[in-house]
Amino acid sequence: MDPLTALRELAMQGELDRITESGGEFHFGSSDWSFPCTAATAFRCKTGGFYTLDALVFFLRHYSLRHTDYLQSATQHQVPAVTFPDRKPLLDYLFGHTSASASIAVSLAPSAPAPAPLAPSSFDEYRPEDDPAHPQTQVSLDTADYVSMIRALERPLKDRDALLEAKNRDFYAVYLASTKREDERNRAEAHQRKDGLVAKTRISGRSNDDRANDKAGLAVTTGSALGAVPKQVVRVKGVPIIMVPSASQTLITIYNVRDFLEDGIYVPSDVKAKAMKGSRPDCVTVQKKLSRDRAAAVGAYEVRDKPSALKADDWDRVVAVFVLGKEWQFKDWPFKDHFEIFNKVLGFFMRFEDDSVESAKVVKQWNVKIISISKNKRHQDRAAALEVWDRLEEFMRSRSH
């Protein structure tokens, strides 16, 4: 009896567990049937060659696995694997669902040389050059020299070095775009320095004309420092002042107010304080750059956080305040209560949008505008800063009348 027939009989009887292995041979139950483990069976692989007995026994014991898992297991055990196209016809024949199969050799003469078994492989692939008995092997040997000649003439189209060289690619446009952005940044910084110089001149009263204008109560305009026609005249003696809390538990402080109002970006106060290495400024000049109206001018504002440092005439220049939500914030203010404060000064309260309602419980009783920002979405900060500037401009216009 040949190995395939003996294996089929036990498979049909459901007695595969009676197949034992010893001494490089498979023993089939209590019968005298025993075959070498690597003996070739009569079942031909669709890609060529014949399956060995150990390949079929291993497959019958693991066919319930997914094919990819089965291939990995066969590789680990160094057993030839059954290809995916052969799974169903092989199972149907071994379990008796079909009585014959086109993949079974009709006869294997005893005198004929044994068919070449499949070599163990981790891939579901048959390669003729690995099978010396396959007729294509001789053709492969004959063409080996031609293949080596072809490979000798091959030239790789791309490698790592070729990709880095970036041949036939023009990055000049990228260079121009980068230099253009750099030029625009330099021009913006130059304008900022010029606006800052104008603001400092106004604050220090270095110009005799400015002193005369301040004493006469002339206007500091919201017009451009470069000479644009002012859109509204605000009669304030000197540069307007915005007050911020000196406490660290508030969102807007003397450290980060410039980033928020000028650039529309919220930076935590502790981060800015560390960057400034602990040097606390007494006064910060803020330029009005953000506006929904592109023709709006750049105006200068002082930002301070020490009410006790203000003189009596400085209070006439206070136009806005960022509140902490605590009454003690106004203990050094020259007003009797917060009703008088927010009747003369525009109030803002900054909070995170997911903060509890209790954080703004006191503030809701005051005449202040609550501005909410996100803890993580920094691209939304600009809209919040624009809302502050819009309110401030409207308040300054009403104050001018």
CA distance 325 to 318: 18
Q: Tens-digit pLDDT profile for the chain (401 aa)?
A: 788 888 898 889 888 888 888 888 888 877 678 899 999 999 989 888 899 999 999 999 999 999 888 999 999 999 999 999 899 999 999 999 998 888 887 655 333 344 445 555 444 455 555 554 455 544 444 555 566 667 666 766 666 666 666 666 667 777 778 788 777 777 766 665 555 554 455 445 434 544 444 444 434 333 333 333 334 333 556 789 999 998 878 899 999 899 999 888 899 988 888 888 767 888 999 988 766 655 444 478 899 989 888 888 889 889 999 998 888 888 889 988 888 888 889 999 999 988 877 777 788 888 899 999 998 888 889 999 999 998 888 888 877 65
CA–CA separation, 39 vs 20, rounded Å? 15
Q: Say how far apart CA 372 and CA 380 lie, in whole Å.
A: 10
Rounded to an integer, what distance in angstroms lies between the CA atom of residue 307 and that of residue 250? 17
Q: Which residue has the tokens 């063409």?
A: 143
Other Cβ atoms within 10 Å of 300 Cβ, number = 20
Distance, in Å, from the CA atom of 253 to the CA atom of 273, rounded to the nearest integer, reads: 10
DSSP assignments along 38-104, one per residue: T-EEEEEPTTSSEEEHHHHHHHHHHTTS-HHHHHHHHHHTT-PPPPHHHHHHHHHHHTTS-S--TTB
Residue 213: phi and psi, rounded to 5, are -65, -40
Q: Which pair of structure tokens corresponds to residue 389?
A: 């500037």
Give the full edge-to-edge strand order of the sheet including 25-28. Answer: 19-22, 25-28, 34-36
Round the CA-based radius of gyration of the chain to a whole number and report it: 44
Query: Is 0.75 surpassed by the pTM of this model?
Result: no
